[in-house]
Structure 1
Amino acid sequence: MGSFKGHALPGTFFIIMGIWWTLKCIVKYVCRKHKRTSYFGSKAVFYRVDIVEGITIIGMAVIGMLGEQFIVGGPHLSLYNYKEGRWVQLLGWHHTTMYFFFGLFGVMNILCSTIRSLPTSLSKLMFSNALFVEAFIFYNHTHGREILDIFVHQLLVMVIFLAGLAAFMEIFLRANLTVELLRTSFILLQGSWFWQIGFVLYPPSGGPAWDLLDHDNIMFLTICFCWHYAFTFIIIGALYAFVIWLVKTRLNRTCPSEVGLLKNVEREQESEEEM
């Protein structure tokens, strides 16, 4: 990960999964809120989606681990050099461990979708564990580095920890759209901040890296971090609007009699909720 590509790869993974999880939780919310949107998929369909999601996560984790191990200058599965009496590329092993725990999350996602006796909360628990492990690794990742390098990674650790906390809350607050979107916002922020770290420490243009001792750079990145977070909510809002538009478009094609019947069902559900 000690390169621009090394930061862009996990950043891309988290952005892709953040967008996917945002769409997924919004669609599930719409299906729960309006029974007439059940055409989007039954529980069986969502189980299949979770299996595909788990396979995708495992694939991303394997790509990340192989990239960290077998990149030029990587450890190549060697942890300790007995001839020289030193550890081999421990930073690479840090990143490999991070990817490994996300791979375990993908495996648990598949198991919870195929073995109905397993509670789905186990998948959330493994996800939160993967994020907490990632936060722990990056917290111990920057010893002896310059102040700006430490600062950008401290912000990353904070985002990862908050994402893990939100994922942990989902175990107890099931089907809560607010908590789910909070978690996806931190996942998106984590992904975009990985890219920002790459631009700061390893400019892809080949130009000089930022002055790692300049306090003004820290001041700017503080503002930049807030802009990143604001942009994640713009993405979430756009995705929410897209799903609502898709639902309304589909409902406009529903026959009038069916629409009237479904509206009556919704009114009854609303009156029950008010009671």
Structure 2
Amino acid sequence: MANFKGHALPGSCFLLLGLCWSVMYPLRHCWRRHQPKARQKLPLFFNRIDLIEGALMIFFAFVGIMAEQFVPDGPHAHLYNRETQSWVKLMNWQHSTMYLFFSIAGVVKVFTMSPLPVPLGLDRLALSLAFFIEGLLFYFHVHMRPPLDTHIHSMLFVPVFGGAAITLLEVFMRDNIVLELLRTSMTILQGSWFFQIGFVLYPLNGVQWDLQAHDNIMFITMCFCWHLAVALLIVGINYWMGWCCVQRCSGRGSDIEIMMRKTSSSKKALLEESDEE
């Protein structure tokens, strides 16, 4: 959709996905670090989160496809108009194609949580492919447009292709916390930048930007760096909060274990005394 809502929808999806990852991955990593090697198996809680993540990806992708196709000015599943001999709303079709590949990634994610013999790393490969397809579509999305419009869309190539490369590395380097957090930062950056594109091209206050001014291009580039800084800050804060949460829970667990040991030792001493009597 060539309006603010059309950019806010994918922005919201990527933001929610990135924020979910920024909480889940630090918790899982910190939990593993505080467990002995004999208890490295993840609890069922984390597997359920992975399953919910895949289901949410499918749901958001379905909502995105429906929104792109069946809005009042959408193509309504018509790709080509034979009467006018022209394509119908190709921009909406490009966005629908992007959502399609993320829905495939969600389906693969759900399958990896099932008893089916799905190869390890296939979910990361499907997600990497979805990011790559998104970047490929946007590369041919902005030709013959004003300079600022082209520039602000081309800035998406950094988190999109970066996310595709990072996720592809995760196929071979599973559960690498650095790669996971970097992918999370790129996803949050994508989400916030979609909102920024909407605010610039379709301002809510009605004041239009000069799409030809070079100063605006310089400001947008600087603004992109600020978005990246905020994304890294969010990931860092959530990592620290996850570490504190695991520390507190592990501290309580150790206290309970000490109390149980003391209780069992006292019971054993009482039994020994009773035997002697």
TM-score, with normalisation over the residues of structure 2? 0.88
In structure 1, how many angstroms separate the alpha carbons of the residues matched to 2:243 and 2:73?
49
In structure 1, how many angstroms separate the alpha carbons of the residues matched to 2:68 and 2:158?
23
Tell me how far 1:116 sits from its aligned partner: 4.6
Are the counterparts in 2 of residues 135 and 158 from structure 1 also a CA contact under 8 Å?
no
Q: 1:120 to 1:47 in 2, by over 3 A?
A: farther
Are the counterparts in 1 of residues 31 and 246 from structure 2 also a CA contact under 8 Å?
no
Tell me how far 1:6 sits from its aligned partner: 0.8
In structure 1, how many angstroms separate the alpha carbons of the residues matched to 2:251 and 2:47?
28
Which residue number corresponds to residue 75 of structure 1? Answer: 75
Deviations 1:119-149, CA, capped at 9 Å, x for gaps? 2300000000000000000000011110100
Tell me how far 1:246 sits from its aligned partner: 1.1
**Within the alignment, does 1:185 sit opposite 2:185 as a pair?**
yes
Which residue number corresponds to residue 267 of structure 1? Answer: none
In structure 1, how many angstroms separate the alpha carbons of the residues matched to 2:87 and 2:258?
67
Letter in structure 2 aligned against 1:111: F
Tell me how far 1:257 sits from its aligned partner: 7.2
Are the counterparts in 2 of residues 27 and 243 from structure 1 also a CA contact under 8 Å?
yes
In structure 2, how many angstroms separate the alpha carbons of the residues matched to 1:27 and 1:11?
25
In structure 2, how many angstroms separate the alpha carbons of the residues matched to 1:248 and 1:43?
17
Tell me how far 1:172 sits from its aligned partner: 1.1
SS at match of 1:35: coil
Structure 1: tracts of 5 or more residues without a match: 261-275
In structure 2, how many angstroms separate the alpha carbons of the residues matched to 1:119 and 1:44?
20
Letter in structure 1 aligned against 2:170: E
Q: 1:19 to 1:259 in 2, by over 3 A?
A: farther
Greater Rg by CA: 2
Report matched runs for 1:57-136 at 5 Å.
57-136=57-136
Structure 2: tracts of 5 or more residues without a match: 260-277
The number of residues matched between the two structures is 259
Deviations 1:81-112, CA, capped at 9 Å, x for gaps? 00111000000000000000000001000111
Letter in structure 2 aligned against 1:64: G
Tell me how far 1:201 sits from its aligned partner: 0.2
In structure 1, how many angstroms separate the alpha carbons of the residues matched to 2:122 and 2:32?
22
In structure 2, how many angstroms separate the alpha carbons of the residues matched to 1:65 and 1:56?
14
SS at match of 1:250: helix
In structure 2, how many angstroms separate the alpha carbons of the residues matched to 1:59 and 1:257?
41
Are the counterparts in 2 of residues 23 and 240 from structure 1 also a CA contact under 8 Å?
yes
SS at match of 1:200: helix
Which residue number corresponds to residue 216 of structure 1? Answer: 215
In structure 2, how many angstroms separate the alpha carbons of the residues matched to 1:34 and 1:248?
8
Structure 1 residues 78-87 or 17-26, which shifts more? 17-26
Which residue number corresponds to residue 248 of structure 1? Answer: 247
Which residue number corresponds to residue 44 of structure 2? Answer: 44
In structure 2, how many angstroms separate the alpha carbons of the residues matched to 1:210 and 1:27?
42
Are the counterparts in 2 of residues 18 and 184 from structure 1 also a CA contact under 8 Å?
yes
Aligned-CA RMSD value: 2.1
Q: 1:100 to 1:259 in 2, by over 3 A?
A: farther
Are the counterparts in 2 of residues 170 and 176 from structure 1 also a CA contact under 8 Å?
yes
Which residue number corresponds to residue 226 of structure 2? Answer: 227
Which residue number corresponds to residue 199 of structure 2? Answer: 199
Deviations 1:38-72, CA, capped at 9 Å, x for gaps? 99x93533332222211111000000000000112
**Within the alignment, does 1:7 sit opposite 2:16 as a pair?**
no
SS at match of 1:253: helix
In structure 1, how many angstroms separate the alpha carbons of the residues matched to 2:221 and 2:8?
20
TM-score, with normalisation over the residues of structure 1? 0.89
SS at match of 2:253: coil
SS at match of 1:2: coil
